[in-house]
Chains A and B, each alone.
Chain A
Amino acid sequence: MRHLISPLDLSVGELEEMLNLAQSVMNAPEEYAHICDGKKLATLFYEPSTRTRLSFEAAMLNLGGKVLGFSSADSSSAAKGESVADTIRIISSYADICAMRHPKEGAPTVAAMHSKIPVINAGDGGHNHPTQTLTDLFTIKELTGRLDNLTVGMCGDLKFGRTVHSLINAMVRYQNVRFILISPNELKIPDYLRKEVLDADNIDYIETNELEKHMPELDILYMTRVQRERFFNEEDYIRLKDSFILDADKMRYAKKDMYVLHPLPRVNEIAVEVDNDPRAVYFEQARFGVYIRMALILTLLGLDKK
């Protein structure tokens, strides 16, 4: 039995198969509409999440399965002090597969150790969010046709953004991927990522705080939010915040076939005027997320070969 706890649990080959399956599902959803008839997905959400939980539920419903679960710790037995290990032992008798979001890092790993059903990590604190990474990779692959030979710009909060860290970790496995890391000095990528991943693998990357200057080079621009509370002082925040806001003016410098991704929710880092630009694909990205979750559920349930 397999679980998905970290984005790197899947080899490049396995990932390729899953992306191909997601593409097949997207092209002919009716062929997959009853594959999970009689199967149940439990969504164990110990903290609120709208998009991820609904995306999982939509994925299972699209496959003909059913869903059950809870959407906050208050409405679960965790409020009575039940451990993650005990909860998953019980859920194993109720469902065929589960997706867990938990505010504490490593909770899905604990669940996987005690589970009789596949566990999908739907986000554990600031640690991992593998299905977001799968969504990002599927979006890039679908729109550009490749995951290698790309110049990927990452902009915003690169220090605390777990989606950025996971995506870098996943993309360094492909040939000739170049990163342009655009952030204020205070929010540069963590040291371990620079030393243990980028430098260790001889990856081509630059760190900069100029978005506009590098726009023409990018194939992908992955935007994240710069939060006010991350700054040491208000002055720096006011000075820097606009440099990391994507607007129609900055989009003028981008290639015609560049794509803008965002893990959402977007606050103000992408001006709404950009939404109508065909290169803004963050809402489409959420749609791709459902297909890749369908492929993931099929794979973990062993139904992918049927």
Chain B
Amino acid sequence: MLNISGLNEGVVIDHIHAGGAMKIYEYLNLEKLDCQVAIIKNARSSKMGKKDIIKIEGPLKIDLNVLGVLDHNITINIIKDNRIASKESLALPDTVTNIIKCKNPRCITSIEQEIPHKFKLTDRKNRIYRCVYCESKFQGN
């Protein structure tokens, strides 16, 4: 059993699908933080079999709802004074900018680098986002 010390104050991003933690790390630009960040890969999970977890020390001023776009299983635990102060479920934002990239090679964003990659939620039930320019589909995990 691998032991990682508990958090006094911070955020635990739990139930990331196994292998997805590094992607989340990059999307949230966690490399820019000075605090301790632990990435746990392939942790045992009764619900998922295997899962990834990210633990971040200290208060985090990032809109975590964007994680719902990438992986709807993710749960967020806010830790204060060594205990879970709140559990937050992720709401799907109506639009996301520069979180996911349009992969359509025929999209205008493929040739004009300064255009923000903007996606709009078009089907909440099936969690489908579409590029506001070319309408290409993005579906998270």
Contact = CB atoms under 8 A, between A and B. Distances in A.
Contact of A109 (B104, B111, B132): B132
Interface string A100-125: 00111111011000000000000011
B106 A126 contact: yes
A83 interface: yes
Nearest to B111: A104
A250 interface: no
B107 A106 contact: yes
A83 B114 contact: yes
Interface residues of B, number: 17
Contacts of B137: 192
B115 interface: yes
B110 A104 contact: yes
Instruction: Give the size category of A's interface with B.
Output: 10 to 19
A84 B131 CA distance: 17
B134 interface: yes
* Chain B CB within 10 A, most for which of A85, A109, A192: A109
Q: Is the interface of B mostly helix, strand, loop or mixed?
A: loop
Contacts of B111: 104
Contacts of B104: 105
A241 interface: no
Contacts of A192: 137
Interface in B8-58: none
A127 B112 contact: no
A106 B105 CA distance: 12
A105 B107 contact: yes
Contact of B112 (A84, A103, A126): A84
Nearest to B135: A127
Interface in B82-133: 104, 106-112, 114-115, 131-133
A288 to B, nearest CB: 27
B106 A107 contact: no
B132 A104 contact: no
A74 to B, nearest CB: 15
A110 B109 CA distance: 9
Nearest to A107: B108
Nearest to A102: B108
A104 B115 contact: no
B115 A105 contact: no
B112 A105 contact: no
Contacts of A84: 108, 112
B114 A106 contact: no
Contacts of A85: 112, 114-115
Interface of B: 104, 106-112, 114-115, 131-137
7 closest Cβ pairs, A-B complex: A106-B133, A105-B134, A104-B108, A106-B134, A106-B108, A107-B108, A109-B133
7 contacts: A85-B112, A85-B115, A105-B133, A106-B109, A106-B131, A109-B132, A110-B133
